[in-house]
Homo-oligomer: A and B are copies of this chain.
Amino acid sequence: MKQLGKQSWEFTTRPVILGASAVVGPEEGEGPLASDFDFIYDSLEMGEKTWEKAERALFEKASKLALMNADLEQDKLEFFVGGDLMNQIISSSFAARKLGVPYLGVFGACSTSMESLAIASMIVDSGGSKYVLAGTSSHNCTVEKQFRYPTEYGSQKPPTAQYTVTGSGCAVVGVNDGSGKHPYMLTATLGKIMDLGLTDPFNMGAAMAPAAADTLTAHFRDTGLTPSHYDLIVTGDLATVGLPIAQTLLAEGGIPMEETVFKDCGNMIYNMDKQKYVIAGGSGCGCSATVTYGHILKRMRKGELKRVLVVATGALLSPLSYQQGESIPCVAHAVALEFGGETR
């Protein structure tokens, strides 16, 4: 591994994604990316008695399918790097119990998808393992209950509110054998905390936009690349409110982003015209994870995308820090995925 500038790493051995999975709930299954997901639950309960047990089932299903898609038997797996939005990341820890391998729990709120992928890539790149599973999950009813109100209340929401994605995405990261058969990780840019003083838990997009802009700026500074290097640059869950803010901040900083290239997973996962209940768009750890590991990787394998930068954003608030009048510290972690094109 090589340090690039202040915030970035180049994975010199180009670790690959041997296989990945995206498992979602019924609402994501009605969205435009439905055919890219590996499994769609037809109810939010998923046959479990509590929302938390349902989220765990979701995560376990995704980890199992990722191993299957990677054609890797479970006893070959060596490490698991995972996290989620639940207090004490219980969904991830219970999934780890089923996997039976050394487990590194991580937390970056919704940026956990790329935080775990960056750490898994580092482990493989530095020779620490041959097979590492990276993954995360979120469930609409666990997250809304924990951070805002139980969905059963039916409380009204402002137009800036986002809708937590029910979904889990996992990827098996492995050594690059040079065969060119799999998408690989080239660089990662780790984010600093950005906190501009916003305190509204119903407006995560605006709170997280500066973190996305900051990490993107750092990525281009550290790597010497420009946005045109990428076929697609996706943020995690800025949705309709946050994405234009990030775009404005980047433009003001001298980094204009084309609308055809700069997108957000929270806008992509739902049919924004029909699924009006998602209000400003999708959010949650499962948002960027399922869109990346379901939709984007499949498009890369088809040759439709060669270079993709995923910038997962996270709002690191707790209900308690919010109740104590604290603002919302945000972070964004980016991982560059490439496949089929020339390496730099």
Report which A residues bind B (CB closer than 8 A): 1-3, 6-7, 9, 50, 52-53, 78-79, 83, 85-90, 93-94, 96-97, 100-109, 115, 119, 122-123, 125-130, 190-193, 195, 316-321, 324, 326, 329, 331
Whether the Cβ atoms of B88 and A317 lie closer than 8 Å is yes
Chain B residue with the shortest CB-CB distance to A4:
B128
Q: Which of B90, B119, B127 contacts A3 (CB under 8 A)?
A: B127
Report Cα–Cα, A90/B326, bound state, in Å: 10
CB distance from A240 to the nearest CB of B (A): 25
Give 8 closest A-B pairs by Cβ, nearest first: A126-B126, A102-B190, A88-B318, A93-B316, A97-B193, A87-B87, A1-B126, A105-B107
Whether the Cβ atoms of B9 and A320 lie closer than 8 Å is no
Whether the Cβ atoms of B96 and A329 lie closer than 8 Å is yes
5 A-B pairs in the complex with CB atoms less than 8 angstroms apart? A3-B128, A94-B329, A100-B193, A102-B190, A106-B106
Chain B residue with the shortest CB-CB distance to A105:
B107
Whether the Cβ atoms of A103 and B317 lie closer than 8 Å is no
Chain B residue with the shortest CB-CB distance to A318:
B88
Chain B residue with the shortest CB-CB distance to A108:
B105
CB distance from A47 to the nearest CB of B (A): 16
CB distance from A12 to the nearest CB of B (A): 9
CB distance from A159 to the nearest CB of B (A): 25
